[in-house]
Structure 1
Amino acid sequence: MSSSVWAVDPRAELSLLIEQKQNVAAFELGEKTFEEWAGDPEFDFLYGVAARKSGNHQKAIFAFERVIVNTPTNLKARIALAIAYYEVDNFKAARREFKQSILLKPRPNVVNQINKYINLMDVKILSKRERLYGSVFALYGYDTNVNSGLGDEQTELPLPGLGLIPFSFGIESDTQTQLRAQLNYDYPMTQTDTITASVAVSDTTYSEFNQFQKTSSDISVSYQGKGDEPNRSYKAMVYFQPFWLAGQHYQNLMGVMLDNVWQLDHSDSLTLSLNASHTDNQLDNLLDLNAGTVRLTYAQRKSVMMHAYSVGFAMERVDSLSIDSQHNERNVMSIGYRNNWFIQRFGMLTSSVDLLHSEHFNDDMRFRQVDNAELSFFEKRKDLTLNIGLSFNMSIAENWIWMTSLRGAFKDSNVVLYDFDKKIATTGVLYKF
């Protein structure tokens, strides 16, 4: 530093201008004398104050950082740097500098001021996490088996009072249109805990078979937070899902869910999911069900891929046990695998495979009442279902995503009525807001 250009030391004038709250003039003076005086701790501090108070926050940060480099124990400069970071919403850096300031053992009134800033930061962080957001999407697709038909083969169906009746339940395919809209609201309670309310409505319409139109809604409130252990988080949710078939209110599903997540390391996690639900069928009380599910999922991230392996168990019990309803009770075992592949500059490719084995442990007495019915109708029903999926999502513009998917369900049952396959292909766009 040299004073050859400026005969008068600018530091005194800078201090006076700041004291008179002429911050713009002080900053302009600092700019004029910067090349000669930058690096002098007192000048840098005054220049930083003038820069911050005149709205030049980044230059203020650089000035205060130069002071700390030259005088690490300068309490005023470190607090000023923390405030400058706070004012540009760099809360992580501000918190770091405030903590460093406390280590320098300032007076109690200064500590109180620091704590006030820290509390203000917490409030601002929470307010930034409060948000309203959602999405809408429209898909066009093709379903190879809209009616879950069995095929062209003829079989005999035992019907009470009629005996064995030959019938064929042919497969019907059709194009479909799917529409869905979802709105979410996040309300942060603390740094780690958030309440989320969500409402979604979806509709699937077929070109020819209007009797299979499906409309549903999903209303939920969830609470997400972290446990006492630093690597544990959890999510609790209550939900209500009414469902309409061909415009007629068919059933309501309501339940509670709890996810416990343990982060094993930076890439591996373990999730235990518990779910209890009740299905209230609006057309047939015999289909009212109570269900409980437990699922364990191990997820592992490797480079651009995420692998998830799961195993689950579910049981469904009728709400009112009778001869006519007992056949609806079952246990379900499942295993699954899911892979997310993040393809740079293209999007995300997702594949999934799920295998479910369900066993109904009561007879279907409707078939028992028919003489000479096929033996399979007298057996307790057992189903083996393979679900596979492949989807690709790609960003095509800001907030716009192109989505396409292929899904297949292949069901093998010892009761012919439930033995069928279906495949669905869809493509469309999603808009996030």
Structure 2
Amino acid sequence: MSKLYKYLAVILYCLSSFVAADTVTDLKNLVDQGKYAQAYQLALSHLESMEGDPAFDMQYGVAAIDSKHVSEGVFALERVIFLEPRNFLAKLELARGYYHLNQFEKAKQLFLQVKKVKPPQVVANRIDLYLSLIDKKTTIPPTKFTSFVELWAGYDSNLNSGPSDQTNVVILSSDALGRSGQYNQVRLGGDIEHAYSPDAALLFGAHADMRLYHTEDEQDYKNISVNGGHLWKMDDQQFQVNFVLQKYLLDRKQFRDLLGANAQWSKQLSRNSVAKLFVGANSLTYKDSAWKDALQLNAGANYLYAGEGSWNPLYFVSGFIGNESPEESNLFTNSLVDRVFFGGNLGVQLSPADNIKLTPSFTYQESEYAGEDWIYGIKRNDKYMLANLNIDWTVGPSWTLLGNYSYTKSDSNIELYEYDRQQVMLGLRYSFR
């Protein structure tokens, strides 16, 4: 009787071995075909009986890693290495698992061990790619300083954005109508990006924009801002938050202060395209017109696509929506401040030569006000359109010649707010290096 039990035990052992061999073969076939999710589910159904078998754990580990169950795959491959310390294929896959778990030092050690045995060139190239990615993720980049100064001369056909003709309902003086003039402009700024880890950095910046008209001093302005923020980098994604303080002076007098915060998330969709989402909030405070004080909220999305072919086109398109709510609600603020606005922007950057960039773009914005105008008796609706062309011509390591032409048209159901405006500018930028 004991011999019968021995024979049955041998038969059961052989059958289980055949079943195990068939399971490992099926797993390997699914993995080789790239059907990782199916292979992972098949492995789970046999995990209780086959866990610890190096051949099974090898296929189970690869399937788990490539079906986003990385920790399970790492545990399985660690069992393989424990039993088969010279299984370099398992070490290669385990190194990949460590990489996806951000255990970069462990991953690097295993990749280098595999590289020492001189694997096929295709495998060596794959290892080099991972090693370069690890260096990029573990090396803290140096602090970046960028700054510039721009000098401009220009002509403005409607410097006060006034209506070009006398209106029918409201009698305006000639000073209130659109006026033209020449001007000089200075723009300057500096930014610091200080990385304190491979994937995080502190951001600081300061910028100023000053325009002086030749004959219309009351339209001179200065726009000065400082900002600080933080940047997080995550493989193909970035997240950034910023805080900004801005002072706007008109005719050498404080006109408006802005205190704002915004956040932006971006993702690399492909080698040629990036998508961005943004939200922001700004508190607007007016020095001599406190009734205009308001909170402005906005949100939107951008999409950039780098095309191929001549002139290396970089296409961009964006859309946004926002709301401006006055701190005080009354007849004037409801009709002149309280509004919903929305619109978009599209354009393309072209490079006809390595040192020349042309950027035509078009912007549209519509504003719908909440209250009826106290004179016209209707709710104001504005449509703002801007056609713009920038030219950048790099003429030296730090020098760039600049050109700009813009045409603005504001349509409104209230004629007082309708105007056309053209600006032509020529400038020179010096970038500090």
Gaps of 5+ in 1: 1-94, 107-117, 158-164, 368-376
Partner of residue 150, structure 1: 163
Contact 2:164 / 2:420 at 8 angstroms: preserved in 1?
no
Question: Structure 1 length as normaliser, TM-score?
Answer: 0.67
Structure 1 CA distance for aligned equivalents of residues 172 and 345 of structure 2: 38
Partner of residue 173, structure 1: 180
Contact 1:154 / 1:167 at 8 angstroms: preserved in 2?
no
SS for the counterpart of 1:155 is coil
| Partner residue of 1:137 out of 142, 150, 164 | 150
The 5 Å alignment of 1:324-363 reads: 324-327=332-335, 328-363=337-372
| Partner residue of 2:221 out of 199, 214, 223 | 214
SS for the counterpart of 1:129 is coil
Contact 2:331 / 2:371 at 8 angstroms: preserved in 1?
no
Going from structure 1 to structure 2, the CA distance change for 1:123 and 1:415 (only over 3 Å counts) comes to closer
Contact 2:138 / 2:198 at 8 angstroms: preserved in 1?
no
Residue type matched to 1:170 in 2? L
- 1:122 Cα deviation from its structure 2 partner: 8.2
- 1:125 Cα deviation from its structure 2 partner: 4.3
1:405 matched to 2:410? The reply is no
Going from structure 1 to structure 2, the CA distance change for 1:351 and 1:122 (only over 3 Å counts) comes to closer
Residue type matched to 2:265 in 1? N
Partner of residue 422, structure 1: 421
Partner of residue 383, structure 1: 382
Residue type matched to 2:242 in 1? M
- 1:192 Cα deviation from its structure 2 partner: 2.0
The 5 Å alignment of 1:191-270 reads: 191-227=198-234, 230-270=235-275
Structure 2 CA distance for aligned equivalents of residues 125 and 429 of structure 1: 36
Residue type matched to 2:323 in 1? M
- 1:240 Cα deviation from its structure 2 partner: 0.7
SS for the counterpart of 1:381 is strand
Structure 1 CA distance for aligned equivalents of residues 115 and 353 of structure 2: 47
Going from structure 1 to structure 2, the CA distance change for 1:270 and 1:149 (only over 3 Å counts) comes to same
Residue type matched to 1:293 in 2? N
Partner of residue 277, structure 1: 282
Residue type matched to 1:318 in 2? P
Cα offsets for 1:269-319 (capped at 9, x unmatched)? 211111111101111111101011111112111021111111111110001
Going from structure 1 to structure 2, the CA distance change for 1:314 and 1:332 (only over 3 Å counts) comes to same
The 5 Å alignment of 1:57-206 reads: 100-103=111-114, 125-126=139-140, 128-157=141-170, 165=171, 169-206=176-213
Structure 1 CA distance for aligned equivalents of residues 177 and 351 of structure 2: 41
Structure 2 CA distance for aligned equivalents of residues 390 and 153 of structure 1: 31
Structure 1 CA distance for aligned equivalents of residues 381 and 137 of structure 2: 56
SS for the counterpart of 1:225 is strand
| Partner residue of 1:309 out of 307, 317, 321 | 317
- 1:234 Cα deviation from its structure 2 partner: 1.5
Contact 1:174 / 1:207 at 8 angstroms: preserved in 2?
yes
- 1:224 Cα deviation from its structure 2 partner: 1.5
Contact 2:137 / 2:199 at 8 angstroms: preserved in 1?
no
